[in-house]
Amino acid sequence: MIKKEDFLAKSNKYNNSYNTESIEKHTKNLIRLFENFQTLYKKYFTEKELELIKISLKIHDLGKMNSRFQKKIYESIDKNFEFDEYNNELEKLYKELNIGEVPHGILSCAFLNINELEEKFSENEIKALSSAIYNHHTRKALNNNGFEISASDIKKIIEKDISFYKQYYDDKLKCKYLGVSMNVIKENYNPSYDIWKNYIIIKGMLNKIDYAASAYDDYIEIESDDASKKVLSRFELNECQKYMLENKDKNIIVIASTGIGKTEGALLWAEKSKTFYTLPLKVSINAIYERIKNNYYDKEKITFLHSDSINDMLDNDLSIEDVLDKYNKSKKLSFPFTVCTIDQLFYFVFKSLGTEIFPATLKYSKLIIDEIQSYTPEITAFIIYGLKVINDIGGKFCIMTATFPPIVKKLLEENNINFEMPSKAFIKKDKKGESIKRHFIKLIDENVFNYDNIVKSAENKKVLVICNTVKHSQEVYNILKEYNIKNINLLHSRFIMKERKEKEEQIKNFAPNDINKREETFGIWVSTQIVEASLDIDFDELHTDMSSADSMLQRMGRVYRDRVYNQNVPNIFIYDTKDGYGSVYDEEIYNRSIYYIKSYDNKIFTEEDKQDFINKVYDYDELEKSTYLSKIKKALKDITNLTPASIDKRECEELFRKIDNVTVMPLSIYNDLINKENNIIDEYTKLLNIDKLNKENYEKLLKKKNELLRFTVPIKTYKKIKNYSGIEINLNKNKTNKIFIVELEYNEELGLLDKKDNSILMD
């Protein structure tokens, strides 16, 4: 009879030898990690929650004791399994039932002692526990014909193997087979909200700890730094910052002027908690990450996470080992402070199997949401539902913004989400106690810019021109070029990544927010919405297409950002061009924005005016029957009623952002690259096609991929990719991610150009 410790959980082949780990050892490692975790975050869980998590850790892999799994794993390490006679009988049953393999998570449920559980826990809590064990890997129980294995057939398998298990477990092994009934979270079962809440906590923590143990990590979480101490030592707190510090144990919404110190206030609110700081754009994330890392937080304990984070980490002079280590720990949510896009955390709103780790982590974290007004109606709905879940399981959130649509406040209240919010916005004031004047606006009821005025202003000012679409920005740039201006530049999202990053640095150097770094250089930058919240810049004058109210206020924030404007002439010129009307911006919101801003025309637009403006445009009662609000409510209803496990995890990113992006490379750049002596495309492709990469080649592959992506443009597409040359570069071995080579004109001045009749581009 083999010993209990001989039952294996896994094996790995390394340098022609085998590393194995027993189920018993693996389980003990999980318990050790969980105990270490509790020294940091026990207070965020109830005693029942902690006990349920611990039971799941003890039970989740016991199903691997089944003779079939053990025979397979022993054969993989070239050893004989000692129960061939018994295994043969089981094989007959598998064949009779037409079953290939039952996932071990399902079999593990047989080890739940339901009699004991019923003495301590409610029926809903037991269902949540069994569901967490059942689904701790997202493998479906399918027969050889691809249909779901019935509960009765799984029960037969367990009953056959029970006699095998009982040799190693005492008579307490009594199971009602709850774990293989239909009452677990799976595609055809829609549990109550209370069951799902318990389930995501248990399964999320089980997965988080199991991943760490499987990777032989020494910890689940890195102990937090306390950024609030550095903030307190450097600043005399203003009203906004005092409010955030005083309400550090509550969910809060803070509306405050640009330049008032909301970021520092957020750090005071977060204090020493595990923290996630979310922003809508990657450029904003990198900037805030650098700011916090360089001024307030231990650089070894802070990270950033977005779709290109591994490439940006490679740019930070880290060794490849450090990059991979940091990226993997970032993906596991192990860092105490993470700056990221909202989608990196909120995929769980689709209730997909494998996303439970996110809400479970947010339960004991603080979440900062910056610039909430920047999201589409659908994403706003997803955020509201996510905040409801976070609120209901005990997490904390802070929404901070210069412009807060009142409809969001109303929807939070309707969904019973607790929060504190001051009756008035925090306005930046001068020494006399009056709000700082920064913007004097002028509305121009014309569909074209006044180019003569723009050029004249550029003689002694830093002038920013913002267009609603890339195409319009290219047209405006070409017209202004005809004036023979020496200092004129263009920035939008359709430059190759290498040149876009260079331009982002150039615009920050041209119009820095830091007054000590400003030089007496004048000229024009033409851009799009990408400068609204992503770059820390400060221009003297703005000429812009009319947009939605929230977007317009963000644009104004790029002018006289932290300076007083004391002249009696406009420095903000708004043109009703209708560019992007109905495509980039919702028609109703656009119309309401242009209607309400007229009352502020040709005068100083105060910080109080801005709050009144946004409140009028997004008034809940007036928008109640609008398509804009109906989109939010419909998305919120759909996500609330969504059945858990009905959507695959891989679909979440596309569903969350409605992403229809492709990565393209202009044919002219492709030809330049392949004709060079050191052909980066061939070098990369050869590395990608190596069957088993050693460490050295893997490092080379990552660097080459990063280098290659510098010559690409991420774009939105129509359903079919047109102008496609037929040439592709695979970005992974399974060919699911590619660079498409397109026959579109590209130049360093204008970027990727649109073609009217055969376009792949959307604004």
Predicted confidence at residue 702, as pLDDT, reads 87
Predicted confidence at residue 175, as pLDDT, reads 47
Average pLDDT, the chain: 88
Q: What is the rounded average pLDDT of the residues 514-543?
A: 91
Q: Using CA atoms, how far apart are residues 82 and 79, in angstroms rounded to an integer? A: 10
Q: How far is CA 407 from CA 384, 527, 592, in A?
A: 11, 30, 14
Query: In this structure, what is the dihedral angle of CA atoms 634, 640, 645, 651, given to the nearest 10 degrees?
Result: 40
Residue 136 falls within a domain, yes or no? yes
Lowest mean pLDDT among 138-147, 342-351, 532-541, 667-676: 138-147
| Residue 322 pLDDT grade (very low, low, confident, very high; cuts 50, 70, 90) | confident
Residue 649 falls within a domain, yes or no? no
Does residue 49 surpass a pLDDT of 90? Answer: yes
Predicted confidence at residue 459, as pLDDT, reads 95
Predicted confidence at residue 16, as pLDDT, reads 57
Q: What is the rounded average pLDDT of the residues 409-424?
A: 96
Closest CA to 34 of 197, 199, 208: 208
Does residue 86 surpass a pLDDT of 90? Answer: no
Does residue 83 surpass a pLDDT of 90? Answer: no
Query: What is the DSSP annotation of 280-302?
Result: SSHHHHHHHHHHHHHHTS-TTSE
| Residue 1 pLDDT grade (very low, low, confident, very high; cuts 50, 70, 90) | low
Residue 333 falls within a domain, yes or no? yes
Predicted confidence at residue 569, as pLDDT, reads 96
Residue type, 179: G
Contacts of 646 (CB under 8 A, 6+ apart): 187, 351
Q: What percent of the chain has pLDDT over 70?
A: 91
Given 414, 429, 452, the domain boundary residue is 414
Q: What is the rounded average pLDDT of the residues 112-122?
A: 87
- Looking at the 3D structure of the chain, how many domains does it have? 4
Residue 349 falls within a domain, yes or no? yes
Same domain, 268 and 299: yes
Q: What is the rounded average pLDDT of the residues 726-741?
A: 87
Domain that holds residue 679: 660-752
**Beta-sheet pairing, 603-604 with 440-444:** antiparallel
Q: What percent of the chain has pLDDT over 90?
A: 59
Look at the block and give the residue holding tokens 């088993």: 692
Does residue 398 surpass a pLDDT of 90? Answer: yes
Residues paired with residue 14 on neighbouring β-strands, in sequence order: 17
Same domain, 195 and 245: no
Q: Using CA atoms, how far apart are residues 530 and 480, in angstroms rounded to an integer? A: 20
Closest CA to 302 of 275, 323, 264: 275
Structure tokens at 83: 């129960």
Residues paired with residue 572 on neighbouring β-strands, in sequence order: 441, 542
Q: Whole-prediction pTM value?
A: 0.91
Q: What is the rounded average pLDDT of the residues 493-499?
A: 94
E strand residue ranges, 116-223: none
Same domain, 235 and 310: yes
The answer to whether 554 touches 403, Cβ cutoff 8 Å, is yes
Residue count of the chain:
763
Same domain, 596 and 725: no
Predicted confidence at residue 478, as pLDDT, reads 96
Contacts of 312 (CB under 8 A, 6+ apart): 282, 286, 304
Q: Using CA atoms, how far apart are residues 350 and 358, in angstroms rounded to an integer? A: 12
Query: What is the DSSP annotation of 600-657?
Result: GTTEE--HHHHHHHHHHHT-HHHHTTSHHHHHHHHHHHHHHSPPTTSS-GGGHHHHHH
For residue 209, give the 3-state DSSP assignment: helix
The answer to whether 434 touches 728, Cβ cutoff 8 Å, is no
Q: Using CA atoms, how far apart are residues 335 and 332, in angstroms rounded to an integer? A: 8
For 224, which DSSP code?
P
CATH number of 119's domain: 1.10.3210
Same domain, 105 and 252: no
| Residue 659 pLDDT grade (very low, low, confident, very high; cuts 50, 70, 90) | low
Does residue 140 surpass a pLDDT of 90? Answer: no
Q: What is the rounded average pLDDT of the residues 640-667?
A: 82
Q: What is the rounded average pLDDT of the residues 360-388?
A: 94
Q: What is the rounded average pLDDT of the residues 675-700?
A: 87
Look at the block and give the residue holding tokens 């095998």: 164
Predicted confidence at residue 177, as pLDDT, reads 39
Residue 762 falls within a domain, yes or no? no
Q: Using CA atoms, how far apart are residues 390 and 365, in angstroms rounded to an integer? A: 10
Predicted confidence at residue 382, as pLDDT, reads 95
Predicted confidence at residue 758, as pLDDT, reads 37
Predicted confidence at residue 183, as pLDDT, reads 57
| Residue 256 pLDDT grade (very low, low, confident, very high; cuts 50, 70, 90) | very high
Q: Using CA atoms, how far apart are residues 260 and 401, in angstroms rounded to an integer? A: 11
Same domain, 172 and 47: yes
Does residue 524 surpass a pLDDT of 90? Answer: yes
Q: In three state form, how does the secondary structure of 192-203 look?
A: CHHHHHHHHHHH
CATH number of 462's domain: 3.40.50.300
Same domain, 564 and 489: yes
**What confidence tens digit (pLDDT) does each residue in 152-165 have?**
788 787 777 666 66
490: phi then psi, degrees, rounded to nearest 5: -130, 135
Lowest mean pLDDT among 280-289, 338-347, 448-457, 623-632: 280-289
Predicted confidence at residue 273, as pLDDT, reads 96
Residue 433 falls within a domain, yes or no? no
**What confidence tens digit (pLDDT) does each residue in 557-588 have?**
999 988 999 999 999 999 999 999 998 999 99
Query: What is the DSSP annotation of 694-747?
Result: -HHHHHHHHHHHHHHHTT-EEEE--SS--SEEEEEEESSTTS-SEEEEE---EE
Given 605, 620, 643, the domain boundary residue is 605
Same domain, 254 and 312: yes
Does residue 750 surpass a pLDDT of 60? Answer: yes
Q: What is the rounded average pLDDT of the residues 594-604?
A: 96
Residue 589 falls within a domain, yes or no? yes
Same domain, 269 and 202: no
Closest CA to 198 of 209, 210, 184, 212: 184
Same domain, 559 and 581: yes
Same domain, 484 and 407: no
What does the longest C-alpha to C-alpha distance in the chain come to? 95
Same domain, 259 and 323: yes
Predicted confidence at residue 180, as pLDDT, reads 41
Residue 184 falls within a domain, yes or no? yes
Given 214, 247, 269, the domain boundary residue is 214
Q: Using CA atoms, how far apart are residues 461 and 572, in angstroms rounded to an integer? A: 13
Q: How far is CA 759 from CA 497, 500, 719, 762, in A?
A: 21, 22, 11, 8
Rg (CA), the chain: 29
Predicted confidence at residue 15, as pLDDT, reads 53
Helical segments of 618-753, H only? 620-623, 627-640, 652-657, 667-674, 680-688, 695-709
Lowest mean pLDDT among 87-96, 197-206, 589-598, 656-665: 656-665
Q: What is the rounded average pLDDT of the residues 471-486?
A: 94
The answer to whether 427 touches 608, Cβ cutoff 8 Å, is yes
Q: What is the rounded average pLDDT of the residues 283-287?
A: 84
**Beta-sheet pairing, 572-575 with 603-604:** unpaired
Does residue 645 surpass a pLDDT of 80? Answer: yes
Does residue 424 surpass a pLDDT of 70? Answer: yes
**What confidence tens digit (pLDDT) does each residue in 164-199 have?**
665 555 444 444 433 444 456 665 677 889 999 999
